[in-house]
Structure 1
């Protein structure tokens, strides 16, 4: 017993305990680490693709986000853990690389500077730095069997207050804005819901399931393709604001005219 007690007091015992603790922590993390969310799948890439992505990142992104994507405040945030979906959205919509500093990165789909393969490689490199949302699986983007009516209900509950009920965007505070959803690729709409870019909240799969996200996308695509005028009577496709302006202008005009006519008759 005295020998055991002496060994417990040995400095080496502390090192052994630390080693055991680190080993157990690492094992537990490997077993219980978060899996990819249902409905998403990481793009299958090779080590060569990741290295190509790193070279593209160093040439085009490192000046703002740091050589190891650790961030470079205030120029750019850390990208560790943002996942492949965030990179695919930001670069695929032309928001990044950022053309000029501003309160919000505007979409510029006509000026995407990279091929789809290069975007995949950069996304794979960033994804290799830390786990994050993956690019959505194709089964949630084909819109087959999607429930447009349910998508409309979910859109009005979660999205219309910023993007307006017609999906054409709207103003936010301090110069920010919710962009139009017309003409946006389904994959980028899904990725925006998954990653919450800029002022947008994150709708993970606990908030909206992959099927519900597909329903929302189907509703937006239906509006974009000239379906039912869900936001009102096609008055500029700006939602109820157009109807309100029309009713206010015509209605108030009629009321004034009626008041003048009644006043003249009374005189």
Structure 2
């Protein structure tokens, strides 16, 4: 009788075993469900991203741009016509946050972008479909592998009077300004030269060839990545800012030290 009880004691399962099995089952089931949900969500996002068409771009344009530019891109009193601006101009204006415009001002400032990349391309495709204009360049133009030295020379001749020789930007008349180029992408550099946004002139192939534009872009990309050997650049604004810095902090520090030594000696 004692042996039988002993056998039953050895064969009895722990009261925590069932709970452990249930917990493991729930973890496995939850993990599988989470993985499947993530995969489905990724698939749906891809489908949504790739499903945007010219018709979707038309709807986005009518909902967000037509108030100023007209339902048929003809323009209104609040905004210019978009005939002939092309997809390149639309991508530049919308992808930099300049459009939609928040308020009338001397110049449209950059601000956070309101659309996804797919939506921006859809709007651009719609404008290009209705009123064709400048289009996206070949990848080679934006690769940054052009002649950097020649590009820097072309930039100084054609662009430095507004953007500063270091691409740091500068003030223009009537509250306008040339933006800094230290964070501008290669595509937007090209778009600015081709479409002439804001106060910038249009540089056609008669002014700057495609190869010229590639060299300028290459020099600016090189400058964005270059390290200043002289230390802090002070915005690369030249000797005026450097002299002001030395006068305020350098001379100011010397005066403060002189006053401290005199006060201590007295």
TM-score over 0.5 for the alignment?
yes
Aligned with 1:60 (options 52, 58, 64): 64
The equivalent of 1:211 in structure 2 is 211
1:156 corresponds in structure 2 to: 156
Residues of 2 paired with 1:152 and 1:227: CA distance?
16
**1:233 offset after TM fit, Å?**
8.4
Label 1:240 to 1:157 Cα distance change in 2 as closer, same or farther (>3 A).
Answer: farther
Aligned length: 200
- 8 A Cα contact 2:144 2:221, kept in partner: no
Mapping of residues 1-267 of structure 1, within 5 Å: 49-73=53-77, 75-108=78-111, 111-144=112-145, 146-227=146-227, 234-243=233-242, 245=244
Task: Work out the CA distance in 1 between the residues paired with 2:221 and 2:130.
Answer: 34
- Which residues of structure 1 form unaligned runs of 5+? 1-45, 254-267
- State the Cα RMSD in Å: 2.6
Report the Cα distance in structure 2 between the residues aligned to 1:124 and 1:229, rounded to whole angstroms: 44
Larger radius of gyration: 2
Between Structure 1 and Structure 2, which shows a larger proportion of helix residues? 2
The alpha carbon displacement at 1:234 in A equals: 2.8
Q: TM-score, normalised by structure 1?
A: 0.69
Instruction: Return the TM-score normalized by structure 2.
Output: 0.69
210 and 229 in structure 1: CA distance in 2 versus 1, 3 angstrom threshold = farther
CA distance in 2, matches of 1:229, 1:164: 19
Using a 3 Å threshold, how does the CA distance of structure 1 residues 229 and 163 change in structure 2: closer, same or farther?
farther
Ranked by relative contact order (alpha carbons within 8 Å, sequence separation 6 or more), the top structure is 1
- Secondary structure of the 1:216 match is helix
Gaps of 5+ in 2: 1-49, 252-266
Secondary structure of the equivalent of 1:236?
helix
Residues 107 and 198 in structure 2, CA contact (< 8 A), matched pair in contact too: yes
